[in-house]
Structure formats: structure tokens, C-alpha cells
Structure 1
Amino acid sequence: IGITSIEVTPQGHIITGGRDRTLRVHQGDGSHTGTLTEPNSEVTDIMGDSNGLVHAITKDGLYLAYNSSDWNISHSMTPSPPGELVSLHDIDAERIALGGAVGLVHLMNRSTGITEQTLNQGNGEVVGILGEGDALVVLMSFASSSDIMLFDIDTDGDGVVDSVDAFPLDSTQNTDRDGDGYGDSVNGNNSDRFPDDSTQWVDQDNDGYGDNPNGTNPDIFPQNSDQHKDTDGDGYGDASYGQDGDKYPTDATQWADRDGDGYGDNLEGNSPDACPDMGGQSFEDRLGCPDMDADGWSDEGDYFPDEPTQWADTDMDGYGDAQQGYRGDACVNQAGTSTRYLLYDSAEDRVKTVSTYGCPDSDEDGYADESEAYWDADNCPGSLVGNATEWLDEDRDCLGSNTDYDDREFNVQTIEDYCERDKNELIQDTTCLKLNQPVYTPINETNSEADSNDFSAQILSFAPYGAGIAIAMMVLIGILGMLGRRVTDKSSKEDEYVQKGATKEIETGSIEQVGGIIEDDAWGEDVAALLDMSDSSSKEEVDDTTSKGKSRSVTESVEDESSESSDEDVDDGSGEWQDGEQGWQVYDGTTSDSEDEAAASEAPVTEEAAAPTEAPPLPEGGLPPGWTTDQWKWYGHEWLEKNGGQ
């Protein structure tokens, strides 16, 4: 048979090979297991390993590897360049070495049979190989000598020997500065994106942050180049404006804000936006809703959406609950329409009106019922509350200040009270002097009858001359009739002036009595003086004139002046408002003398007024002193009207 090699494997098999191109397998007891016939020539060497493989080489350069479990071939090949193989050597756990007859050494991967490197540094027969780390000690035998050669192996052929190659089996990588197992070459296999950081090596989204979640500065979003960090751990990246950005990177309960008003859209989170699709800055009643007046209350919850100082109205009276705000409600829980309140100022010793809104005002005069109740007198409660024309009674005499002549003096209610109380001190007061003018007293009946008889006798004796005088009087009466009509026209115009003035004053909130008898150009002051001698005339003058500048109430003035106004003559509006006493506005509707003359010249000529057919009846006392018969005939009816027909 010519046995040329023998091997006892780690598994206990005994394998022999020889020149007959076969491998024979025996058990440890010598029993024959089988014969392997794959070798194509003389078997030159056999080697078993701990992995269960049996390696064999032939003289023709064939390399074979068998599985000792079933003795089937695992792999076989002829290394290049081909040549006689003479020896097998175990280098390390991964590699074996095949020695050739002409100085060739093939480094093979024992599991795959792939040639990793071929060394060719001599031409002798390799009779022994010893692996020493990443180096090989090769014993070569020549015809007359032997050599020992030391090789630094470069398994991957990248030009870097295995002793210094961090990746001896990867020709694309050879260094690993941080020692994390990934090569420093960016273009090589399994390149390290962070060659100086042993905790990171991969960056799939190329954002500069490593994908290892346990490494330095890890990328929590390895597939999203916009994000890498999530401080609050809610799954949304800290880069607010990037993809899947977190608008609230430190609040795990909020992350989105569609309307950009600073309040989060998550209704279950912190400070949720009650109006997520409408930007707003409300924060009092709800968060993030429109707030037009910027008072913190949403427009929907603000009773006064355009007034920044008010927002609530508990009693729904139209005045806000914030008392320091615009028109604050002084009675928050009581609906009311008041706007004013009267308070006594002790420093100035006078009553002041202060703004007080939203309190009950039953008579709707603008003053709060509480204010009016305070000024009500104890003996006549309710004289102000419920009375729309009165709201103050300083002297508590049950007569309001609008009617009371002096509301600070309990015993003075009328001008008569005033003049009576101070008649000694006010002796020079023109108001009281006019009030105290002597009243016309009729002549007693006895003297009146005698004077009447005497007057009749005089008329009879004067009869012859009467006819001539009568004719002259008729002419005079005609002239007086024209003048009298002019007096009537001017009186009507003055009445209208009074009516218009009062109306204007009512509209402006100020009243002053104006008017009186107008001087007549023809009669002078005679008729006016005769008419002013009546009691009623004196009383009217006193009522309309006061020493204190007091004015009648609005209601009284309107009623009096309306009854005196003319229905036929209307003021043409050419008058104007002028400043009067104590701030009153007085309307001046009269015209100048030149304007009267122009109007008279332009007016159409009318018939002269016919003389009265008979004179008015004389009073019981006869013709009043100072009157003529003709005057009585024309104006006696006015005297009777003013003196009640007496």
C-alpha cells in the first residue's frame, strides 16, 4: 500500500494515507470504518481538528476537507499557483497552512477552504510551519541546507500585515482608533461615523448624532434628520420647527400649538387651549381664546368685550362689577339705572354730586334711591324717592331743593318767607322792595258815589263842547288803533320769544324766567304803569324775580309759558342764545328798531282797527285813578282781566 502519512484525530479516529490514492479510517480498537477514494494522487499529509474536520493534501496539489461525522467532503480545492503540497500546519482557530515543495505557503480558512494569503519567499521544500501570533515561522529544507523563515502575515492583502491590521480579514479597513470594532475608513465596510467615540458608530439620518441609544449624545429619532433629542420624553423632538417638533420641549403633556398662541392643543395637558384653532391671549375664564380688549377675559365670556376695565355684570343691569373700572356698578347684586349720588362735603360745606352707576332708581331721575332716602325728611319719608322732579332736601322741610326757595334754611320755602325773616337786614334788597310795594286799594263806596255824581254833572255842563272834542278824539282813536295793533303784534312776538327760549333752555338743561310787558312807543309808560298797579301784576313780578337768582322748575316753566304763547305768530328763528346770569342761556328773539321799521314798511297795509262800540263796564269804585275815558274804552278790559273784574 505504501503508507505515507498517519493521523489520530481529536475524535479518536485513526486515518492513514499512502501511494494508493486512498484514505483509510479505523476506530481506536483497530476496526475498519471505511475507505475514502477522492484523493487524485499520493496522499502526502493528514490533519484532524477540534471542529470535526479531517484535512488532507496530495502530491498533485489537491486540498480536501472531510466531516468526521459522516465522512462526506466539506470542501476541496487546488490552491494557486498549483504545485506539490507536502505538509499541513495548524495556525490558529480560523486558519491552517499548506506547505509546498517549492517554497509556497497557502493560508486557508479552515471552515470555508478559501485561500486567504499565499506566501512565496523561497524555493525549498516546506517541512514545518509554526504559527506565532500574527507571524509564521517556516522551516524550509534544501538539498544541501535548511532555512528558517519568519513571515508577517497580511491575510486580507490590504498592504497592512495582520499584526497591525485591526481588520486582517477586511481589505477595506485596517484601523479602529476608538476600538469599537468599526473601521475608521469612511468608504470601507462597516465604517465608523464616529471614529473617536467608542459609544457611537452609525448615523442613519446623517444628522451628526449616533444611533446607539446608550451612547454619547444618542439620536432618539434615527430616521428623522430634523430631530435627535426629546427632553420631556413625549415622543416629539425638541426642535420645535422640525418634523415632529415639540412646541413645548420641557412639558411632557403638550407638544402642539396649531394657532401659535402659546397654549397647547392637548386638552388633557397643562394649560390647554380652549380655542385651539383661533389664536387668543385670554387667561382669566379660559385659555387661548380671542380677547379683543386684552383684559384677560375671552370675548365669549366677557360681558363687555370692548371695554378693558370691565368684564362681568352680576345683576345684568349694564354696569360692570369692577367698581374701579369704567362706570363701575356701585350695587353689584342689585340691578339699577342710577348714575348719580348726592354727598355732603364738610370741607366745602356743600352737597356734591358724584357718579354712582347701577343702583336702584325707582323714579328714574338718575339719582340712586339710597341717596334720595338719605335726604328724605324723617317726618315725610318718600318725598324724594319716587319723585322724579326732586332728589335733594338739605333742610329736611319736606320741600325739595328744586321748589324750595332756600333749601338750606328750614323755615324758608318761599320768597315771602325769605323777606319776612330778614326784613330788617334786607331793607335794601330790591327783590323784597318790589314784594312790599303798596297794593292798589279801591276808593270807599261813599266817596266813590259822590265823585261819580259830581263827574256826571260836569259832563252835562260840558256837553256843548263835547261834539268838537269827539271829532278830534275819533281821529286820535284811529291813530291809536294802528299803534295799538303794533303793540299787540310785538306782544305776540315777545310771547313767542319766551316760549322758544324756555324750550331751548329745557333742552340744554338750564331754565331762567324771561318776559314781561313791552314798552309801547305811543303810550309810553302810562298804560304799562296803570296795568302794573294791580295785585296780580305785582305778584307775578315777584314770582319771576328773585334776589338769589333762583329759577322755576322745568315742569312749571314749560306749562306757564306754553299757556301764554301765541298760536298765530311764530318766531322766525333769527334770534340767538346769549349768556345770562349764573350760567343760564337766554334766547334773544327781539329785533332792533331799524328791523321793526323795515318790517313795518314791507308789511301790507291793513284796515285800521275799528273803535270799540262801547267801553267795558267800570269797576265798583269807578274809573281807576289816572285813567282817561278813552284809555278805559280801549284798555279797560285788560285792567279787569288782571284785577279779576273788580
Structure 2
Amino acid sequence: MNRLLVVFIAFTMLPLIAFAPAVAASDVELIDAGYTHQTSAKLVHWEVMNDGTVLTVDDNGNLSVNAFSNGILVPLWSLDLNVTANSARLDDAEVLAAVAHDEGVFVVHMDLQIANRNISTPERVNDMDWDTEGDLWLAYFAGRRRAEEYDNEGFTGTTSPQIQSGFNSFIVLNDGRLALGGFDSKVTIADNGGTTLTTLNEPGGIVNALIEDHDGNLIVGSANGAVYRYDTNSWAVETLSLSHGSSVVHLEEVGNSTYVAGTQNGKVTMIDGATFTEEDTYASQGPVVGTKTEYTGQVYITTSFLSYSKIRLYDLDTDGDGVTDTNDAFPTEITQWNDADMDGYGDNPNGFNGDQFPDDETQYIDVDGDGHGDNPAGTEGDLFPNNPDQWQDRDGDGYGDNMQGEDGDMFPDEPTQWEDGDQDGYGSNPNGLMPDACPTQNGFSKYDRYGCTDSDLDGYSNPDEFFGVDQGADALPTQGTQWIDQDGDGYGDNTTGLLPDACPWEFGNSTRAWISNATAALGFIEVASYGCEDLDGDGWVDRSESIGMDADPNEHFDNDKDGVGSNSDYDDTRPLVQTEQDHCLLNFDDLSDACMGWRNADYQAYLSRSKGVNESDYSYAAWNTSKNAGLLNDGGEVDSSTVKQVMIVGGGAFVALSVIIIAVAAIMKRRNVQQNMKIYGTPFAPSSKTNSASTEALEGTAGLSAQGGVESDAAWEDDIASLDFSVKDEDLADEASSPTAIDATSLYGEEDSIEDIAGIAADPQPAAETPPAAPAAAPPVPEAGLPEGWTMDQWKWYGQEWLDKNK
């Protein structure tokens, strides 16, 4: 199989080999091809993934995986986190991506394309990285000025040393050590427990970028335009001062052979990884976020601006492999240019005779393309050479340690378990360690049995037909603080949980109890008490109820201990008073109708009579009124015949009284007609006047008649005696002794004519009218002008009288 693959590659590459000399001879250099793409937002992260796609994160929190074609980003999928993102980091397996933002960190599952975790922090998180145990370290460049470790449960309490000056870069090395690049131009190295191991003092400026290369070397980029490579074992350092001297803000390793250093002002310098020397530098604008070098040599530079990012292309013109011929280990082979391990196979795994392991002389081919050599005797030999998803088997159970791959071991360190069909963390092998009792259910029970449904997440599984409460399943599967209910009354036995059973040894349905309390008004207080015996079903614990109350669902407390509960007892503070009758017969100062009725033997006899159907009792007040009115028969009951007679007599009296009222009203109307004739000269009062103009003028109320009002003093006597409504005895005696005789004169008046009395209009007799003589001259007008509502004509006639009256 391997031989056929090699032959196929050889025939495929033959046409390219023919052109190799011509390409090399042309000596075409890299040239600027301009911008190829502009994003709609500022990118804070750019990373080329193993499959050639590009992971980007912009400052608005939009994470996107993109195809990259001819310098243009084509989104394949994206996830809007809706945060202000500061940076991002992809784990080595490219399964998880962490996004640091102003309020914490989002962790995105790349396969599921969801944010499956959000770590909230009180301060802005600038960067983060995973350690070898899968824990996440959050870096706070300012403020806390340290990194903090978080596992799946949260903050572990482990932190890096605090960098007093603050820091601007952070990385976790493959061996778990921490590296922090400070504003003080130093790199602090600490172990994963937070203890400082050493300080690297060589950088001559703020440390802006840190990466670890494939050999485990620490690469440092500083603001003074220099790049440093440290041997992480001895901390021996190599220094490379870039010719342009620009601040290095971005570092990456390309093809395990070249370092890419991006600067604050858009320059990108290629550094040979083998010799640690500066090669070519390409210029763009803006801070460098990332680059992409094609296998044919093209270089794409991504830089960010205030609200967008741009991609610029530099196109190589050598033999097409992107490496100058002087540095090309295969100058005539377009697909190969380096052979770091000197094994005769080019370091480009996709090229002709490509070394799949360019830094390992014991490996060079990888048929399944999983990154592990097929030579089992070589370094990290592939134990599954035909399975691209697997290469290692730590526990030796025949299943690969890559959980996500084909034949993956979900428990790589447990030889008795490898499959977890429901993905709940418990193995499906029933004979293995901690076997999943419900292998088809995604469950998280762990105390009674493993991996079964646990609705309330208290660790105890829900009971089912195969495993019931008697076997240890959760007796209260919807109550997260309860799981055991020995007496089966629905109240859990956990005393610190919700609705705890106060009597776990007995079935009960109580919810409350009375307990002694010396400070309470009654000497008792109500407390919650669930699950105790309550035979009468009133909710009160039977043993806490007053004597005799435990069998009465309507009673629970008897304060005066008279055997009658407080709900029924008329006065529960007095043993002798249980009913209203008791109260009334013991409290003669209570003169209420109710008590008077209890004390009246006749009324009580009335109440105890035989009643007819639908017959009701009179209240004591109604009964007593009827008695006083003589409406009761000898038995004390209301006599219906007497009531009928009273109604007949009363009705007749009402009719007679109505006739008298109507007659008096007619007489009064006639008198009003005569009065109007005297005042107005007409049998009715004019609708617009209730007073004469002369009277209004003299009273100083001119105009009052236009709006209604009261007649002036002319209609009254000057002196009015106080009205006395008291009835004098002599008046009553006079009235009683001498009945008043009413004649026509006293009823109608001497001046009333027959026509007026009969309501017939009499023919008016013309009267000679003598017009009043006008005054010789109008009186002087007051300084304030005419009185309100007066006219000059009125003033001419009545002004002098008004002046005399208002002097």
C-alpha cells in the first residue's frame, strides 16, 4: 500500500519537476500584490487550522470558521457571542476555542458549534491558555496582574505570581509551566502551582508576544524589535534583533521551520527556525494579527485597524515553494525546501517524498495522515496505522485514546471501559469499573447506581420498573434536597433539605405544629412540621394539638382548656364561656340585642316553638317591636290577623293623609298666586326676576335679578324675633281644649276674589298711571365709578338713595 502511494505521488509530481529549473533560474522575488479582503469588524484573533480553514474572532465577539480562497475569507459557520472580545485561543486538538472578553471567557465547542461554557469574572480578561491537564488559565494584564487557574468546577485558587508592572503576553508551556511577558521587559517563568521558577531579563522592551515552537523552545517578541529563543531546559537564549527595529506584537511558527514575527506597524519578518536568522520582511499597515503562508510560497498578512481588518498578499516568485533557493534543501523540487532531520525526505508532508515528521529522523511516512509515523519502532509509533483518528492506546484495551475519533476510547486511562453511548461519563461495559446502569440514558446519578436519570440532580437516580426505591432509588425524584423517605409519606428524611420529615419513623401528612413559647401571647407558636401523624387531616400534628382537638379537623387549640376549640369557643380565654349564651348569662352589663334575647324567657320560648316549612325566626329586636305593638298572640308569636287589621287601618290612614296633603297644596298654590299679584302684578313670578330693579338699586345689588337671588330687606320686618320651635305645655293645652274653627276668610284672605279662589282670570280694570317725575339732575358718580351692574339711567333715578344708604 505504501509503495503504491509513493509511486502515485512520484508520477503526479513529474510534470512539476520538469519546470523546477526554470522557476529557480528566473529568481523571481516576492512582490506586493495588494489587499485582497476587508472585514466588517476588527479581528482580534486569526489562526490557520490543521485543515486549512481559518479561525477568526472579531472584537464584537463573532467567532467564525472560514474557507480561504485567493485571499478571501468565506465563512463556513459562525457563532455570535455578543461580547467585547479581546483575544482567543484554540486548544491543541482544535476541539475547544476560548474567547476572552470584558466580562470573562466563553469556551466554544468547535465540533458542536456552541458555547458550552461561560466563565464570568469581575475584571476584563485579556488572554488565556490551556495547561496539560485541560484546565484554563485566565490572564489579567492589568488590575490583578496575574493569571488564575480554572478547572471544570471553577476557580481552583491557584494563581501565577503577580507581575507588579503588569504584563502583556501569556502562555502555558507544554510541560505545564507558565510564561508571563511583562511591561518591565522581563519574562517570568512559574510552575503550574504559581511558584516563580526564574525570570528572563534579556528582552529589551515590553514583551508583547510569546509562543512555544515544535521543539519546546520559548519564542519571545518584544517592543524593541527583537525576537528571543529560549531553551526551556537550560534557559540558554538566542537573540535576533530585527533590522527594522519595530515592536513585535505577533509570533507564529509555520511548517515547523519558520517563525513569523509581526509588528505594530504592519511589518512581517520571516525567521529561519534552524539558524534563527532573519530572512525576508514584508510590509503592510496596522498591527499584525496573523499570517497565512501557502505551500506554494504566497504570504498573506492580516492587520487590524480601528473598526476593520485587511488582508494583504505577498506573492513569491522563486521555485514556487515560498523559500529562497539558498535556504531550500531541495532547490529544484517545488514541493520541498527543508529537511530538518536530514533523513532525505522533505519537511513538506504534502510534497514529493514528503517527510511527515520533518524533525524526527525515525519517522517519515504516515499513511493514515494522523500525524504519527507508521514506524512502530520510531518515535511515537502509530499503534493504529490504518486509522487516521487513532495512534495511541495508554490503557492497552485496543481502543485509541482520541475520544472523538473512530474506535475512540472514552476512558483512555481505564482498561475496563471504552464506550459511553449516552455520553454521561459512565462506561457501557457492565463488567467494568463504575458501569453505566442505564447505558441508553444520559444520566448523572452516582450514589445508588451510575449513569441513570436524576431529574433533581441530587446524585440519586429516578426509580423505574427495574430499580425501585427499595433498591436505593430516589424516593423524591423531583426534590433536589431529598432522596430518602422511609415512611413513604412524601416528606424526605434529610433534616437540612426542603420540607424535611419531622417524624421519619411514621407516615403522616401534617404540615405544622404548636410548640411552647414563653414569649408568645398564648404561650405557643406555630412552626412547620411535616410528615407527622394527623388523623383528622387539619394539617396540625396530632400530638401537638390540645387535648381532644386531635380528632376534630376544625380545631387544634384550646386555650382555656374547656374542651371547646378556639375556632368554636365564643371566648377561649374563659373556661365557663363557650357560647354566646354563656357569655350573655354571665355578663349582665352586655345590653346588646343578642344578650337581651338570651335573657328573655318569652323570646326563648318563641324560638323553641314548632315551626312550619320555610318559616324563619324574628330577631330579638323585631320580635320585641312586634310584642310592644300588640302583634303577638298568647303564644308569643306574631298574630297574622292582627297584622292584617293594622295594615288595613294604616292603609286607610295613608289615603286620608294623602288627600289632606293635596288639598293643602292647592290652597297654598292659590295663596302664592295672590302674593305674586301683589309683588309683580302678575299671577306668576317672572322667570328672569326675583326682585324689582328699584329694590336692587337701593340695596346695592343692582343686576342681582338677572342671575337670581334673595329679595332685599323690603320683604321683611326690620326686627325679627328668634324662632322658637319648642312646644309649650300651655299651647298643647289650648289646642286640646279649644278646637280651631277655620273659615273662608282665614283660609283665603279678605282681599282674595272669587275669581282668584276659583282660578278664573278676572277682566283687568284699566288704572290711570301717573309716571314718576324724573329728578332735576343725576347725583354725582362715586370716584370708583358706577356700582357694579348699574346703568346711568338707573343712577339718575336711584343714585341719591344709594349714596345716602352707603355713606
TM-score (norm 2): 0.30
> Which structure dedicates a bigger proportion of its chain to strand?
2
**What's the TM-score once normalised by structure 1's chain length?**
0.36
Structure with bigger RCO (C-alpha 8 Å, 6+ apart): 2
Structure of greater Rg: 1
